[in-house]
Amino acid sequence: MKRNRSVKILATLGPASSDEAMIQRLYEAGADVFRINMSHASHDLMRELVKRIRNVEAVVRRPIGILADLQGPKLRVGAFTNTKEDLVVGQTFTLDNNPEPGDNKRVYLPHPEILEAVQPGHRLLIDDGRLQLVAVEADGTCIVCKVVAGTRISDRKGVSLPDTMLATGALTEKDRRDLDAVLAENVDWVALSFIQRPEDLAEARKVARGRASLLSKIEKPQAVDRLDEIIELSDAIMVARGDLGVELPLETVPGIQKRITRAARKAGKPVVVATQMLESMISAPVPTRAEVSDVSTAVYEGADAVMLSAESAAGDYPVEAVATMNRIAEQVERDPLYASIISAQRSTPEATGADAVSLAARQMAETLSVAAIVTYTSTGTTGLRTARERPLLPIIALSPIVATARRLSLAWGLHCVVTDDATDLEGMVDQACRVAVEQGHARPGQRVIVTAGVPLGTPGATNMLRIAYVGSDGLSAV
């Protein structure tokens, strides 16, 4: 199924969208990649969802990406004698290592790593920032805080630490079990939550051993501070605006989104914009005008993908949410301003053969008004370098490896097709022309540009560019 847009749609599965028929409807409405949230999915449910997605993939005969989102460290306070307590701005309130139920003076904090790391002056945000505390004393066993905003706290509310670097890594014991489980099911992407530093990717990378690509969710100020290093070690990036908006001033999030999007594009790494994009469609069949503008902004910025969370997972209108996002993206990409904005944001290519060939392919394609760029890619690198150039015409990524095609379904502009590997140069060009016609991106008489590596089948050796005419039989013509 050909998409009439370059940006991809990532849809979260959940109670409203877990059966096979609904997954197919979401795909047909525009979803390109499906997200399984391991915060809520058991291993058995995850396995069943993977099976259903693969069944839909077989029906639609298109590679579909699967992203498993690990929960990450969930930091929460303990329980209270009365389940909740009212506080007063200006009072002191203590978080400590005493497991007894709390009151309006103190509460148990079952996270020694926080007790040891917080210093006087650090902020502690409870319940998504509804209660704001500032540490005035900390001795490694308790944190005495001053209440600066908010007046209520209740059982097991989450704790955010915008000023504190925790010594622990991003993977919890639950994450390690979940990671083993999702890798056994051959998911394509694994999202790592609450990344603070580039070293947080090391353990997951060691476990994955290339079996899945790693996506780092940027949702903490510490990660923003070391953004370039994290991008370098990641396969993709997500702008997780929900937690960013808790730990950083809300008014700074749009600027950070632009910074992350452009940095990832410069590095040639897919970037996903997520959280509350069509939030009102959880309970309404149409979005707000502000939400439409929000999705449009991400598309204008050249994000690789935009994501739906509760809208598709638990909302009343999951199919409508995907279809709405699809229509918004199509309309933005038809806007004459879109081409000029995308072109103005292009980065200087790196000094590699793949970058040089990808740049030349884009320039020649736009100069000659060809129908499509067809790129052969076994590892996915050439496909990503071509997408990095943001050519304003279709990119068909041909790969003999289904896992590569599935992973590339997250990347901007790539129409992925699983094909047999070509055995000679003429056969390769013929195959490129035939697939371009079959997939609806070219017609006889038009031209396509083909890029590949010679000798054929050599990973990472993109060094050839050829202009081919599509003959009346759908093959290349002299």
Q: How confident is the model at residue 476 (pLDDT cuts 50, 70, 90)?
A: low
pLDDT for the residue numbered 459: 65
Whether residue 79 lies inside any domain: the answer is: no
Q: Catalytic pick from 5, 8, 12, 35?
A: 35
Q: Which of 62, 217, 241, 385 is catalytic?
A: 217
Tally of CB atoms within 10 A around 402: 14
**Number of Cβ within a 10 Å radius of residue 149:** 12
Query: Do 184 and 151 belong to one domain?
Result: no
Q: Are residues 147 and 200 in the same domain?
A: no
- Quote the tokens at residue 285: 């069949």
Q: Which of 272, 363, 287 is nearest to 322 (CA)?
A: 287
Residue 475 has pLDDT above 70, yes or no: no
Per the structure, how many domains does the chain have?
3
d(CA 60, CA 327): 21
- Whether residue 342 is contained in a domain is answered as no
Closest CA to 213 of 33, 79, 357: 33
Residue 348 resides in a domain: no
99-to-79, 82, 112, 133, 273 alpha-carbon distances in Å: 9, 15, 12, 20, 39
Residue 117: per-residue pLDDT: 95
On whether residue 16 sits in a domain, the answer given is yes
Same domain for 195 and 313, yes or no, is: yes
Task: Examine the residue annotation and report whether 76 is marked as an active-site residue of this protein.
Answer: yes
Render pLDDT for 201-255 as a digit per residue (tens, 0 to 9): 999 999 999 999 999 999 999 999 999 999 999 999 999 999 999 999 999 999 9
**Shared-domain flag, residues 246 and 372:** no
Q: Among this protein's residues, is 3 annotated catalytic?
A: no
Q: Does residue 326 share a domain with residue 242?
A: yes
382 and 423 assigned to the same domain:
yes
Whether residue 194 sits in one domain with residue 59: yes
Among residues 131, 160, 189, the one where a domain terminates is 160
Among residues 122, 38, 123, 103, the alpha carbon closest in space to that of 74 is found at 38
In this predicted model, what pLDDT tens digit does every residue of 243-302 receive, in sequence order? Answer: 999 999 999 999 999 999 999 999 999 999 999 999 999 999 999 999 999 999 999 999
Catalytic residue among 3, 25, 47, 76: 76
Query: Same domain, yes or no, for 375 and 441?
Result: yes
- Asked if residue 317 and residue 257 are part of one domain, the reply reads yes
- Chain centre distance of CA 45: 21
**One domain for residues 305 and 264:** yes
pLDDT grade for 453, boundaries at 50, 70 and 90: confident
Do residue 64 and residue 152 come from a single domain? no
457: confidence class by pLDDT, cuts 50, 70, 90: low
Name the domain boundary from 141, 160, 179: 160
Domain containing 94 equals 84-160
Please give the sequence-ordered ranges of beta strands (E in DSSP) within 309-446, or none if there are none: 372-376, 395-399, 414-418
Looking at residue 164, its amino acid is T
Q: Considering the domain boundaries, does residue 339 fall inside one?
A: no
User: What pLDDT is stored for residue 422 in this prediction?
Assistant: 75
- CB of 376 within 8 A of CB of 459? no
pLDDT digits (tens, 9 = 90+) for 185-201: 999 999 999 999 999 99
CATH of the domain at 101: 2.40.33.10
Other beta carbons within 10 Å of 466: 16
Distance between CA atoms of residues 190 and 187, nearest Å: 7
Give 80-104 pLDDT, tens digit per residue. 999 999 999 999 999 999 999 999 9
What pLDDT, on the 0 to 100 scale, is given for residue 460?
61
Residue 337 resides in a domain: no
Residues 325 and 360 in one domain: no
Single out the residue in 160, 191, 207 at which a domain terminates: 160
| Domain CATH number, residue 425 | 3.40.1380.20
For the chain, how big is the Rg over CA atoms in Å? 24
Q: Among this protein's residues, is 217 annotated catalytic?
A: yes
Which is the catalytic residue, given 275, 377, 404, 451? 275
**Lowest mean per-residue pLDDT among 21-25, 168-172, 331-335, 456-460:** 456-460
Question: The whole model's pTM is what?
Answer: 0.93
